[in-house]
Amino acid sequence: MAWKFLTVYWREMIRFVRFRTQLLSSLLQPALWMAFFGVAMSSNFSRFTSDIPIPPGVIAVDYLTFMAAGVIAMTTLFTSLFGGISLLFDKNWGLMREMLASPMPRTHIMLGVSLSGMTKSFIQVAIIMVFGLLLGVEFFPGFSPLRIVVSILGIFVFVAIFSLGFLLFSSNISMRLESPEGLQGIITLLTLPLFFVSNALYPIQAFPELLQALSTYNPLTHLVNGVRYFALGSEFFAVGARYTSTPTDILLSFSYLVVFAAVMYLLARQAFLRAVVT
């Protein structure tokens, strides 16, 4: 009984692999974003910031490398928010009624869907990192092999807890709605504010004070902080600004994501336990 959620997980991964259009689009989208937007914007930002002196002893990072962490965060966000849409299809096709009536605990449905979404995020993040290195992204500058392994693990830990929070959020919404269109509308409403009111694409130091405050409470900002810390180090210079992070800063960002995921778990658990599908 303790491992029933793996059945749901395996079913979701089979669905992911068999739906070729979804599989290809989810794998190609981040690569295309890096190839076109990243390369084009990198040349522009390099030209605009070429006259800004680099502080002595600080590693200079080009915009493509700076943005690569943002693409990892963006892809994880999109994948996680759409992770719960399979629950809506199950409700419409009558499968959810059978799953809720089975001896399997309802929370295992939620955990299985969340685990599959995390796996998809891991696959996409790995593709982004490999493809980014081929494009010239300079992750792990001067890192030893051991530190590179630790850094990759750190990135995946941040991606895991972030994706878990938004997968639970998506599952919670899905169990309260009746149509995929409703979930898509909510996702469309949330993605742009979450993405652009963050440090994924550009420094937040130039934001108005209100947007800076909102960015501080944006989970995506904390994911980007963690990814950049492990991929670029505790101090670097990019897009005309100097970035410095301490282990305490990263621990606080991780703690924020843990609290966010815990709150989403409680809300999603309540939605599953109260769900009635006719």
pTM over 0.95: no
Which residues fall within 8 angstroms of residue 108, CB to CB, at 6 or more apart? 4, 5, 8
Does residue 246 register a pLDDT over 80? yes
Q: List the single range of 78-92, 109-123, 236-250 with lowest mean pLDDT.
A: 78-92
Does residue 202 register a pLDDT over 70? yes
pLDDT of residue 23: 63
Does residue 115 register a pLDDT over 70? yes
Q: Of 82, 89, 85, 87, whose CA–CA distance to 26 is shortest? A: 82
Q: Of 157, 188, 185, 187, whose CA–CA distance to 258 is shortest? A: 157
pLDDT of residue 2: 57
Spatial distance between the Cα atoms of 246 and 274, rounded to a whole number of angstroms: 43
Which residues fall within 8 angstroms of residue 229, CB to CB, at 6 or more apart? 154, 245, 249, 250
Pairing of β 235-238 and β 241-244? antiparallel
Q: Of 92, 113, 93, 109, whose CA–CA distance to 101 is shortest? A: 109
In three-state secondary structure terms, 244 is: strand
pLDDT of residue 277: 61
Average pLDDT over residues 60-79: 86
In terms of pLDDT, which residue wins out, 2 or 241? Answer: 241
Distances (CA, A) of 164 to 60, 269, 270: 33, 13, 16
pLDDT of residue 127: 85
In terms of pLDDT, which residue wins out, 111 or 56? Answer: 111
Spatial distance between the Cα atoms of 193 and 73, rounded to a whole number of angstroms: 14
Average pLDDT over residues 114-130: 88
Helix axes 106-135, 20-32, angle to 10 degrees: 40
Spatial distance between the Cα atoms of 84 and 92, rounded to a whole number of angstroms: 13
Average pLDDT over residues 117-128: 88
pLDDT band at 145 (very low <50, low <70, confident <90, very high): very high
In terms of pLDDT, which residue wins out, 230 or 36? Answer: 230
Chain mean pLDDT for the chain: 83
pLDDT of residue 267: 92
User: In the chain, what are the domain boundaries?
Assistant: 57-274
**Two tokens, residue 112:** 């299985």
pLDDT of residue 43: 64
